[in-house]
Structure 1
Amino acid sequence: MQRLQVLKQDFFSLNTTQHLIIGSAVAAGGLLAYLVHKRRQIKSIPLGEGWWGAGDKPLSEDDKIYPFQVQTSDQEIEDLHERIDKTRYTDPLEDSCFQYGFNSTYLKKVVHYWRNQFDWKKQVAVLNKYPHFKTKIEGLDVHFIHVRPPHREGQRVLPLMLVHGWPGSFYEFYRILPLLTETQDGLAFEVICPSIPGYGFSEAPHKQGFDSLAAARVFLTLMERLGFSQFYLQGGDWGSLITTNMAQMKPQSVKGLHVNMMMSSRGLKVLLSLLIGPYLPFLVGLTREDVRRLFPFFERNVYEILRESGYMHIQATKPDTAGCGVNDSPVGLAAYILEKFSTWTDLKNKDLVDGGLERKFSLDDLLTNVMIYWTTGSIVSSMRFYKENLKTNIDNRVDSRVGIFVPSGLAAFPGELMHCPRSWAAIRYRNIRSYTFMPRGGHFAAFEEPKLLASDIVQFVKKVEKC
């Protein structure tokens, strides 16, 4: 009651213009909510079809699953070292830290470790700790790891697919896998973790147009080929969009969808939140934590997004041009990728000389991810995924016009590039079973905070399973 009285006082303290803005916004918001509700009653989108292999589509395709192992050679390592030794550096500006990108003074330290201490053969053995496989889908060799939990009496095992984003890889999940496959209260997961085609050990598409919808269809085929008729999904970055598309394509197969990067539709409801939220957040479904993370909106979110999204504009327009240099220079590739692991973990890392990289990650883990891109030569094809998804207005795609009706769990990490309140997420995700304000962590949730993410996945699945 006291809180309501304070809110009333806040409202009546506003000037006439602010009253008019809020009144008009509320009225328009009611109309918009009705229209959005009507528009989003369609509960699935077409699967579609595709062929991404070289040349014409054959009459039949090998659908067998084959074991795969990551391999390396002395020649591969020697070539890497020769290229590293020929690197040219540019001195950083004084006191620039990571404000201009990857600071070359710290980069030299990372490269020295890479050249003299990093053991790629040892890390290849680490990668092969879990079983790897490949199978041909729509003309592409699709790579994935498949990890089954140890057998325990009375445990319930549920299939779960984890999908990475850019500039990550399947290796992001190596710290969370033991937590998910170990029984918790009688529940464990059988985890399938694929590489997006064009990333790492999955073959790159040979034809234009391979977007998140195509990736979703490929991964649905993979789960069907593995014998799963129902399963759970989890994703971040591109993985959140791909798994969301999977849930839209085959809602009958997706028991639950968990994402740690939420993308809401733009519209009047969001605009209302931005106009009214700082004054009367309860009217637009915002919590105090939402307000703290969102406002001041333009200074904290919009300007930061603009400063951090230059890579996206390049990759969404001319990925092949931009990719030439980083595909040829291992040090250039490392700087390009690892700078994202600095700023996307915590934007404040830009003010540190070392970018805060080793606060959450080891150099072995970071360089292993870089090596997956380097040894497979997949940086350019991974960058093309931006162009394929953003060459037209993504808001006009069929998936943007259809809601997500499967049970959904959303984990909001404070270091994510853009905060998405539950009220915004609910515009698209129409069956939210859990929404968690995570206490710490950023964009690479599974890599940074595996225990937090694993715990949130488990509690979400328990709510869906009612166990």
Structure 2
Amino acid sequence: MTKLLIIFALLGVGAAVYYVLNCNEGRQPPQMDPEEWWGPKDTKGRVDKTIKPFKVKFEEPMINDLRQRLKSHRPFTPPLEGVGFEYGFNTDQLNSWLTYWADKYNFAEREKFLNQFPQFTTNIQGLDIHFIRVKPQVPAGVKVLPLLLVHGWPGSVREFYEAIPMLTKQRPGYDFVFEVIVPSLPGYGFSDPAVRPGLGVPQTAVIFKNLMNRLGHKKFYVQGGDWGAAVASSLSTLFPEDILGHHSNMLIVQNSCSQLMYFFGSIFPSFVVESRLADRMYPIAEWFAYALEEFGYFHLQATKPDTIGVALTDSPAGLLAYILEKFSTWTNKEFKTTKDGNLGFRFTKDQLIDNLMLYWSPNKITTSMRYYAENMSKKLRDMDLDSIKTPVPTWGYQAKYELFYRSPRILRTKYTNLLNVTVTEDGGHFLALELPKELTDDIFKAVKAFIEFHSKKVKTEL
């Protein structure tokens, strides 16, 4: 009987291994409607599709109202004794932030800073989409490659401001630089929100592909983190012929195959991940405990975004606490034990408040949080894009303190041409803002590899 059980166990393990190695075969990407309309129905068919210059403008009435709200808040509930950020933003720290925002944040100078790059809007599928576009001037012989950068929540285009000059400047050892296009996600920053349900990551991929096409780029490179990573992955999945290369600083896969491999690795870690990196994935119980503690916001925004949106739209103090707590814990989860959340570790007050202003000024916190509800809808879950393989050459940057880590073996269940992963012992979730040089260095290396990949492919086909 014991031998029989062993045989059945081995057969079960063998079947699981076979499934892991052969799953996701043959699935084709769905056909997306390239003209799906997200704006008011009465505007369909008569929209101006020109590209219009845009400037960030902090209007005086908005500034005066904001200052009044920052200074007239009710007394905050004191934190518990001996507590840092474990219960959320430490309220002993709030007054210094609110005072800085109201009295020391120079709105005119920050407006000028935010306008340092050329910005535009254009109407795509009924929505005015805001984007930064920087086209470098280069000498003869230097190629200019189109690169789409996509942000996430609770970030914004502000995350890329330190990286843009590095991406648009030629560097030794590379015969190319980038024309950088950085759009605000629909419902974020200065991009219009959808007026009806259904605009999630795949639909955003369609909008951004249409944007790039309108700018004259049929084929382009893409990079993203957070929701931007999901949009970049969707572009690679839905339009593999148009994406020349896919770089992500949050490269993950969520499908039945990857999940089976993930759980199988909890028994046999060496089958899934290098021993030196096993603690980034296992033990599973530790990661689930962390998720239960930190992902309450996700459930709330995926189910009742408009309810919490009322509070955050009305109170800049609430908006600051809600968002900056993420910039603390997602940079390094150990920061929650400190009194100030270690927010000054790599970020300045101006950087973080710039980002807050791109939610407060255009009143977009509610519509940004709706993105969670759209992406968790049954319709989008049923699309199961992570179960569709993509041949687009892919490169991952895996920071030490990123929220998710998946080994190359798991990632290749979807990204069949995963060229490399850069594993580091530093960095967190907001990588472009935290370590812009390290990220841009990695993007240059990745794109050089993408070019070589396509060159070899052409030679092989010939």
Question: Is the 8 Å Cα contact of residues 265 and 272 (structure 2) preserved in structure 1?
Answer: no
Question: Is the 8 Å Cα contact of residues 70 and 99 (structure 2) preserved in structure 1?
Answer: no
Amino acid at match of 2:246: L
Distance 2:212 2:62 in 1: 34
Distance 1:114 1:251 in 2: 44
- Give the aligned length: 448
Task: Name which of structure 1's ranges 362-371 and 111-120 shifts more when overlaid on structure 2.
Answer: 111-120
Cα offset, 1:60, TM superposition: 3.8
Q: 2:177 aligns with which of 179, 182, 188?
A: 188
Distance 1:216 1:367 in 2: 28
Amino acid at match of 2:81: E
Q: What is the DSSP-based 3-state SS (H/G/I as helix, E as strand, rest coil) of the residue aligned with 2:67?
A: helix
Cα offset, 1:394, TM superposition: 5.0
Aligned: 1:347 with 2:336: no
Amino acid at match of 1:238: W
Q: 1:260 aligns with which of 240, 249, 265?
A: 249
1:359-399 C-alpha deviation (Å, 9 max, x unpaired): 01000000010011000000000000100110227542142
Q: 1:359 aligns with which of 342, 345, 355?
A: 345
Identity, in percent, stands at 38
Q: Normalising to structure 1: TM-score of the pair?
A: 0.91
Cross-structure match for 1:46: 31
Cα offset, 1:186, TM superposition: 2.1
Distance 2:179 2:13 in 1: 46
Cα offset, 1:239, TM superposition: 0.5
Q: 2:187 aligns with which of 198, 211, 219?
A: 198
Q: What is the DSSP-based 3-state SS (H/G/I as helix, E as strand, rest coil) of the residue aligned with 1:46?
A: coil
Distance 1:376 1:23 in 2: 59
Cα offset, 1:38, TM superposition: 2.3
1:51-77 C-alpha deviation (Å, 9 max, x unpaired): 111233523432110000011232221
Cα offset, 1:222, TM superposition: 0.3
1:232-243 matches, cutoff 5 A: 232-243=221-232
Cα offset, 1:230, TM superposition: 1.1
Aligned: 1:83 with 2:72: no
Q: What is the DSSP-based 3-state SS (H/G/I as helix, E as strand, rest coil) of the residue aligned with 2:92?
A: helix
Question: Tell me, which stretches of 5 or more residues in structure 1 are unaligned?
Answer: 1-15
1:395-406 matches, cutoff 5 A: 395-406=381-392
Amino acid at match of 1:191: V
Cross-structure match for 1:55: 41
Cross-structure match for 1:224: 213
Amino acid at match of 2:235: M
Q: What is the DSSP-based 3-state SS (H/G/I as helix, E as strand, rest coil) of the residue aligned with 2:78?
A: coil
1:118-158 C-alpha deviation (Å, 9 max, x unpaired): 11211110010000000001111000000112323321211
Amino acid at match of 2:377: K
1:196-218 C-alpha deviation (Å, 9 max, x unpaired): 01001001111111111111111
1:236-385 matches, cutoff 5 A: 236-267=225-256, 270-277=259-266, 280-282=268-270, 284-299=271-286, 301-385=287-371
Q: 2:15 aligns with which of 3, 28, 34?
A: 28
Q: 2:123 aligns with which of 136, 147, 150?
A: 136
Cross-structure match for 1:159: 146
Question: Is the 8 Å Cα contact of residues 374 and 380 (structure 2) preserved in structure 1?
Answer: no
Task: Name which of structure 1's ranges 244-253 and 454-463 shifts more when overlaid on structure 2.
Answer: 244-253
Distance 1:21 1:143, change over 3 A: farther
Aligned: 1:215 with 2:215: no
Aligned: 1:147 with 2:118: no
Question: Tell me, which stretches of 5 or more residues in structure 2 are unaligned?
Answer: 456-462
Task: Name which of structure 1's ranges 103-112 and 133-142 shifts more when overlaid on structure 2.
Answer: 103-112
Cα offset, 1:19, TM superposition: 7.9
Q: What is the DSSP-based 3-state SS (H/G/I as helix, E as strand, rest coil) of the residue aligned with 2:303?
A: coil
Aligned: 1:66 with 2:52: yes
Cross-structure match for 2:378: 392
Aligned: 1:450 with 2:436: yes
Amino acid at match of 2:423: F
Distance 1:427 1:441 in 2: 26
Cross-structure match for 1:5: none
Distance 1:20 1:71, change over 3 A: farther
Aligned: 1:121 with 2:108: yes
Distance 1:125 1:90, change over 3 A: same
Distance 1:24 1:366 in 2: 54
Distance 2:388 2:185 in 1: 23
Distance 2:46 2:131 in 1: 22
Distance 1:124 1:19 in 2: 69
Cα offset, 1:269, TM superposition: 5.1
